[in-house]
């Protein structure tokens, strides 16, 4: 509601100048606020299984219900209110882009910056709007001054694109990349801290790790690892691609200096949106990916210098943030864990089933991984799609060979149960023999 008023005010001058504005009517946010008002006072846990409440959330989406989409880890659908905001902005910016986009819409990014910074718990002057987590993180990876022999410490379960980026610096700059391994699920959070502590050498300059891994959904003790790095004079880069708006936290909970995330995952923002947080004192020494003027050295906006780009995508982030806050972060993660536990507990203990994700809420959220002994993840994935139109992700890492399952707030209990039944059928009957 607040965002719509801001939008109208920002465009009032344009409308007075003769540019027709599209209708701003959409009741999706109103319905969410109405639904949450009706459950005021109830705990997030007691609400997690309330299907009447979550039906209101589910109806805010325009997803294809002929598909059971349990692959929300890579990119998520936006609710209707975000889709319509994006369309409005696109329509308006195309009326006369040199004016409507650059003069009217582009300055609105500052409102988005303020809202995101408030949600993350940092200053707007530490928040850069990017196109995804990869861009945000590569700004850090490629922007840090490193010399031959300097060591970067990461894990062998970090995101492939980020490992590829460091490997390019190995070839180009002669740095050394060291990867530690860990078991899924790990025995404790302190076990993960100790892995890094034991691998640090006098040449370690950077520790790069995931807030939550994309393979098994393991949450890392970010604050402890960042403080460990800082105490040794080491930079710590946190890959938060799957974390922001997935489960509640703020910058102070992490005590990090660099944090990159995608907003088209759990925030449900338009595809091609993300942010990079850099602590104020670190901005000046971090080079931007694309050249910026010297006067921008201390300005977080230097990381947004990418040439001409649409304003519509980043402006509609505000609608996604309003939708997320309307549900409530605690309610959201309680529901996501409820959906996860529903299928995990049903499969747990059955012959050949291996769960690579912990039930501990400190160690996991909605993203989880299950393997079936003797069955290839790709074969399970194909069978689920061919027979039930269930969409999951095959994971072939040695530490967690299985399928990644990621429901979202629009996922229904029927869809979760259909997946569980399909998996039980595979467990009992096996997979069909290929005729090839």
**Residue 72 is assigned to a structural domain of this protein:** no
Helix H or strand E encompassing 191: helix 189-199
Strands 176-180 and 151-155: parallel
Contact 337, 362 (CB under 8 A): no
**The pLDDT of residue 26:** 57
Helix H or strand E encompassing 434: none
pLDDT in tens, the chain (436 residues): 334 344 333 333 333 343 333 333 456 677 777 777 778 889 999 999 999 999 999 999 999 999 999 999 999 999 999 999 999 999 999 999 999 999 999 999 999 999 999 999 999 999 999 999 999 999 999 999 999 999 999 999 999 999 999 999 999 999 999 999 999 999 999 999 999 999 999 999 999 999 999 999 999 999 999 999 999 999 999 999 999 999 999 999 999 999 999 999 999 999 999 999 999 999 999 999 999 999 999 999 999 999 999 999 999 999 999 999 999 999 999 999 999 999 999 999 999 999 999 999 999 999 999 999 999 999 999 999 999 999 999 999 999 999 999 999 999 999 999 999 999 999 999 998 766 5
What is the domain range of residue 150?
A: 122-309
Please report how many Cα atoms fall inside a 13 Å half-sphere around the Cα of residue 210, on the Cβ side: 27
Q: Which residue has the tokens 């039944």?
A: 421
CATH code, 425: 3.90.1150.10
**Residue 16 is assigned to a structural domain of this protein:** no
CA nearest to 36, candidates 17, 59, 53 = 53
* CA gap 166, 395 in Å, rounded: 22
**The pLDDT of residue 38:** 77
Secondary structure class of 88 (helix, strand, coil): helix
Q: Give CA separation, 246 vs 151, 314, 336, 409, in Å.
A: 31, 19, 9, 10
Residues 169 and 208 grouped into a single domain: yes
**Residue 168 is assigned to a structural domain of this protein:** yes
User: Which of 254, 274, 309 is the endpoint of a domain?
Assistant: 309
Please tell me the chain's helix, strand, coil percentages from 3-state DSSP, rounded to the nearest 5. 45, 15, 40
**The pLDDT of residue 10:** 39
**Residue 109 is assigned to a structural domain of this protein:** no
Residues 300 and 335 grouped into a single domain: no
**The pLDDT of residue 391:** 98
User: Which of 309, 344, 375 is the endpoint of a domain?
Assistant: 309
Counting the structural domains of the chain, the total is 2
Residues 194 and 305 grouped into a single domain: yes
**The pLDDT of residue 14:** 39
Residues 278 and 134 grouped into a single domain: yes
Structure tokens at 132: 């995804």
**Backbone dihedral angles phi then psi of residue 267, each to the nearest 5 degrees:** -80, -20
Residues 300 and 340 grouped into a single domain: no
First vs last C-alpha separation in the chain: 56
**Residue 259 is assigned to a structural domain of this protein:** yes
DSSP secondary structure string for all residues of 376-420: -HHHHHHHHHHHH-EE-EEE--TTS-EEEEB--TT--HHHHHHHH
Residues 211 and 278 grouped into a single domain: yes
CATH code, 143: 3.40.640.10
Strands 235-239 and 204-210: parallel
**Residue 67 is assigned to a structural domain of this protein:** no
Residues 147 and 270 grouped into a single domain: yes
Residues 248 and 156 grouped into a single domain: yes
* CA gap 316, 314 in Å, rounded: 5
* CA gap 143, 147 in Å, rounded: 12
For residue 24, the Cα-to-chain-centroid distance in whole angstroms is 28
Residues 261 and 410 grouped into a single domain: no
**The pLDDT of residue 21:** 36
Residues 277 and 399 grouped into a single domain: no
**Residue 215 is assigned to a structural domain of this protein:** yes
Three-point CA angle 315, 316, 319, nearest 5°: 125
């Amino acid at each position: 509601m607040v965002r719509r008023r801001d939008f109208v005010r920002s465009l009032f001058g344009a409308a007075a100048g003769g540019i027709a504005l599209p209708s701003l009517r959409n009741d999706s946010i109103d319905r969410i606020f109405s639904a949450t008002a009706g459950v005021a006072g109830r705990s997030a846990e007691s609400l997690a299984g309330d299907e009447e409440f979550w039906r209101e959330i589910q109806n805010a989406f325009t997803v294809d219900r002929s598909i059971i989409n349990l692959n929300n880890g890579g990119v998520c659908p936006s609710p209707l209110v975000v889709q319509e905001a994006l369309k409005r902005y696109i329509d308006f910016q195309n009326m006369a882009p040199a004016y409507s986009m650059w003069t009217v819409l582009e300055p609105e990014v500052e409102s988005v910056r303020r809202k995101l910074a408030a949600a993350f718990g940092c200053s707007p002057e530490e928040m850069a709007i990017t196109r995804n987590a990869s861009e945000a993180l590569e700004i850090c990876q490629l922007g840090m001054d490193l010399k031959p022999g300097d060591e970067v410490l990461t894990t062998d379960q970090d995101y492939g694109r980020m490992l590829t980026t460091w490997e390019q610096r190995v070839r180009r700059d002669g740095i050394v990349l060291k990867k530690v391994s860990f078991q899924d699920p790990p025995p404790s959070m302190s076990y993960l801290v100790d892995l890094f502590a034991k691998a640090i050498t006098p040449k370690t300059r950077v520790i790069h790790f995931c807030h939550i891994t994309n393979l098994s959904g393991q949450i890392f003790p970010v604050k402890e690892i960042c403080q460990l790095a800082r105490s040794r004079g080491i930079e710590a880069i946190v890959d938060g691609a799957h974390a922001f708006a997935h489960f509640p936290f703020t910058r102070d909970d992490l005590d990090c200096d660099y944090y990159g995330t995608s907003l088209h995952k759990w925030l449900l923002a338009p595809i091609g949106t993300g942010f990079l947080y850099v602590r104020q004192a670190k901005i000046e020494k971090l080079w931007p990916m694309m050249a910026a003027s010297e006067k921008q050295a201390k300005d977080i906006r230097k990381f947004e210098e990418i040439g001409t780009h649409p304003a519509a995508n980043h402006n509609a982030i505000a609608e996604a943030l309003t939708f997320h806050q309307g549900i409530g972060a605690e309610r959201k993660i309680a529901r996501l864990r409820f959906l996860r536990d529903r299928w995990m507990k049903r499969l747990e203990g059955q012959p050949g089933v291996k769960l690579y994700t912990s039930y501990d809420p400190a160690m996991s959220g909605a993203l989880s991984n299950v393997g079936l002994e003797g069955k290839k993840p790709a074969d399970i994935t194909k069978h689920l799609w061919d027979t039930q139109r269930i969409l999951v992700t095959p994971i072939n890492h040695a530490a967690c060979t299985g399928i990644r399952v990621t429901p979202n707030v629009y996922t229904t209990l029927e869809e979760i149960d259909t997946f569980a039944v399909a998996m039980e059928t595979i467990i009992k009957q096996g997979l069909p023999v290929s005729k090839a």
